[in-house]
Structure formats: structure tokens, C-alpha cells
Structure 1
Amino acid sequence: MSQTLCFLPGLLCDARVFSEQLRHFDGSSAIDGFGARTSLIDMARHVLESGPERMALLGHSMGARVALEVYRLAPERVDRLALVSTGVHSLQPGEADKRHALRDLGVAQGAGALVDQWLPPMLSPPHRDDPAIMAPLRAMCIESGVAVYAAQITALIDRPEVETLLPTITCPVLVAVGSEDVWSPPAQHAAIAEAIPHATLTVVPGAGHMLPVEQPDALNAAIAAWLAQPTRH
């Protein structure tokens, strides 16, 4: 049975964050955001219900955590896995308070205020001032809105433990990160790749956390190499 390349977006994002990947890879698809779901497991079930039967699954940021839950629920449907700009650690001290503070800012002042504080640090410094990159990202995140942010941070705060899952993954895995990602830095991804058998680490120069948008050609090259690897189960 053939596999379909399927992209899973992160917090406040939808399929637009993968525009360059969807154009580049014929027949690929993307989950168009996770809406107001408040559980990573519910998001994973949505992928299994609406996604292709056999998947080469790429998740970005929160979407990578969802991809891991898809693998946990139905490993036989995941032929290969890509974890991009993400983490696998449990809830960190102060993390919930910071996420709730942004939620409260959005409730008080609107989605624009929330996004204008949250989004710029997600990009490498040169891209923060590039309207061709920032304007579409900002519009997408504002369109998602405060209620979606509140729901999705609940899913992230209540996330399942995943570190013990990593050594059990038997399919080819790509772990990719931007060199300028301060939210999920390269060292964090190196540890993820080391924990997973058959994982390949790619660090893309000049990109922050929004790697699919900031350096799409480099990410597409890494995806193509990953897709060319033989499958394992």
C-alpha cells in the first residue's frame, strides 16, 4: 500500500504554514489546523480519522507531539516520521504560567496583541522584519484566535509523557530544527535524535522555530532525503 506525505501544524497554525512543502511534494496533504481540541490524543485521533491510511507523517512544533501520539496509537499506519522544531520534555517550571499570561493578554486585548508578543521570537532575527514572511504568519495566527490558543495550550500543558516512546520507534525518523530556534534549540533536537533508532538530525542554518516558512528549500531537501530512506517496521 502506498504512503501519503501528511503534514501536521503547530500551535495557532494551519495548512498555510506548509504552503511551500505542499507545492513541492505532489500528492501531499496537511491537517488544516487542530481547532479548539484540548488534548493531543484527541488531535491524534482526528489525524487517524481524517488522514490517509498509510502516512509519512511530518509534524511541526505541537504537530510533532501530535505525530508521536499518532504513532503511539497506530504505529502500523505510520511508515516514517518527521519531528520538526519541537520538544519531547514534560511540562517545565513556569511554562504553564507563561502560556496562561499570553492567553490572558489575548482575552484582555485581542488576538493581535497575543500574536504580536508570541510570534516574533519564533523566527530568526532577520525574518522578524521581513513582511513577506511575517505578514502571512501573523494573519494566520490572528485568524485562529484566542479561543483556539487557549484550547491548544491546554493540550500542551496536559501533554502525555513521550520520552519512553522514542526508543520504540522503528520507522525512519527525520529530526529537523533551525539553527536559530531559541524556543526548541538544536541541542534539544540532537537529544531527540539520539533517543530514536534510525533517526537523522538536520540543522538548517538561518531559521528559527518557523522552519517550514523561513527556509523551505532546505527543509524540502531534508524531507526528500527522508522519503528516500527504506521503510522499517
Structure 2
Amino acid sequence: MELSHPVLFLPGTLCDERIWFPCWKAMSIHQRAYVPLQWAESLDQMLALTDDRVKEYGAPAHLVGFSMGGYVALEYTLANPDKVASLTLIGYNADGLSKNEIASRNNIVSLIEKGMYKGSSESYLQPYLHPSNQDNTKLVSYLASMNDDLGNGVLKAHIKAATPRPSRLKELTNLDVPVHIVAASHDLIAPLNTLEHMHTIAKDSTLSVIEHCGHMMLVEAPDKSAKAIEDFLAQRNQ
């Protein structure tokens, strides 16, 4: 599929380009690029990396962000709406982090800094997958390998860069950029009802729901996720 503007993909917490590989294989988008957020140690660096890619591949660009990548993509769009052709937010709740979520994140950072964080890949991934996929050894191994390769240093940097995270619901109501919200039916991290609410209040939005998936819908159902992304971009390309 030929698009008028490039498509830039942003990963989630403790993810790199491997989170997108299954989707990319199912896509026919040629003008795509990746924003390596695993290189960044702060939100400012994440936004700078995004801007570098936008400048390199040409503005306005379609931004596609997964989870934390959705947060970064939205922050970039709010600051640079003229550089963004559309915004796709996957598994990202724009209502910010609760006090309990912030406390949990700060606790993980503290444990990492003390050398006491022992969270295994399996326990870390458990709430991110649909129950039917939690015993899928091939899928779990794929995600665990990515997480283990990046390690606690990247996890700490990602948590600190995206914590605290203010609510951006008010900004969505006034955003003059087309927004595509992609939700998973069984996402415990960004629950479907919260993303449905985002859709109802966003000024110009489309909602896609990926059934029988958890937060890791990009690898749990890559074909469906890729189709949702491509269908939206094709509509905006007309």
C-alpha cells in the first residue's frame, strides 16, 4: 500500500522493534520507519528521537504508538500537530496513571536501583497476555527474550521517562489530528472501557477492537492488528 506520508512506529515499555515484527510481516506499508525508544533515558530524549525520525522521513507523518509509545506519540502530537498526519494509539489509556500505578512503578525503580528487582520474564508478562495465550510457550519465549535482552536498565529508564503521566483526555477533545484508538478486548493494562471513553470524547477518532487478546495484541493477533492499522491509514490516504 502506497501512502502519501510515512508511518512511524513507537514501541512500548521494555520493548524494541521486535514488538512490531509480526505486524510488519502482515503489512503492505512500504513507507515505514521505527523510533528506537529503547535508546532513550528520558521523555525529552524520546520526543527528540521521534522528531529526528519525522525530519528524516518527512512531515507530516503518521504516528503509531503502542502502550508507552502511544504516550510518547500523543505528547509529540500535542506539541507538534502540524507535523502529524494521524495518530494511532494502541493499548494506551490517555487518562494517565493512578496513584497506585505510580507507587508500583516507583517501587520497581527503587528495587532496580538497589539491585533487588527479581521479577522474572514469566511473572512480568502474565497480566499482559490473554488467558488463552499465557501457556503459549512460543509466544511467551518471544516476548521474554526481548525483555531479557533489554534488561532492567531499559525498564528503569522507560518507567522514569513515563512516570508520572498526566491525563490528556481534555487535550484529546480539542486535538485537530485524526486519532485511531486500538483496544484489546481483554487488556488489563489499558482496559477496553477506558479506551472506549477516549473514543467518545476525542474530536476526530476511530475505534478498533481486537478480540480475544490481552495487552500484547501486536503479537497475540498480528494479522488483525495489522489490518486495523492499515484500514485506518488507507481511509486517511484518500
TM-score by length of structure 2 reads 0.88
Q: Of the candidates 151, 154, 157, which is equivalent to residue 148 of structure 1? A: 154
In structure 2, how many angstroms separate the alpha carbons of the residues matched to 1:228 and 1:50?
22
Aligned residues: 229
SS of aligned partner of 2:86: strand
Q: Determine the structure 2 residue equivalent to 1:9.
A: 11
Aligned-residue CA RMSD (Å) = 2.1
2:145 paired with 1:120: no
Q: Does 1:61 align with 2:64?
A: no
Q: In the TM superposition, what is the alpha-carbon distance from 1:150 to its structure 2 partner?
A: 1.2
1:203 aligns with 2:209: yes
Partner residue in 1 for 2:194 = 188
**5+ long unaligned stretches in structure 2:** none
**In structure 1, how many angstroms separate the alpha carbons of the residues matched to 2:148 and 2:79?**
32
Moved more, 123-132 or 9-18: 123-132
Q: In the aligned structure 1, how far is the partner of 2:130 from the partner of 2:111?
A: 24
Counterpart CA distance in 1 for 2:30 and 2:182 is: 21
> Residues 66 and 100 from structure 1, CA distance in 2 versus in 1: closer, same or farther, beyond 3 angstroms?
same
d(CA) in 1 for partners of 2:105 and 2:47? 22
Aligned pairs (5 A) from 1:62-211: 62-106=68-112, 107-110=115-118, 113-211=119-217
Task: Report how far residue 3 of structure 1 moved.
Answer: 0.8
Deviation at 1:103, TM superposition (A): 3.7
TM-score, scaled to structure 1: 0.90
2:99 match: secondary structure: coil
Which ranges of structure 1 fall in alignment gaps of 5 or more residues?
none
Tell me if the contact between 2:5 and 2:31 (Cα under 8 Å) persists in the aligned partners.
no
- 1:164-199 per-position Cα deviation (integer Å, ceiling 9, x unaligned): 220222232210111110111110100111121221
Deviation readout 1:40-78 (Å, 9 max, x if unpaired): x43122101134322111100000010101101211111
CA positional deviation for 1:2? 3.2
Quick check: 2:180–2:206 contact (8 Å CA) kept in 1? yes
Residue 32 of structure 1 is matched in structure 2 by 36
2:22 aligns with 20
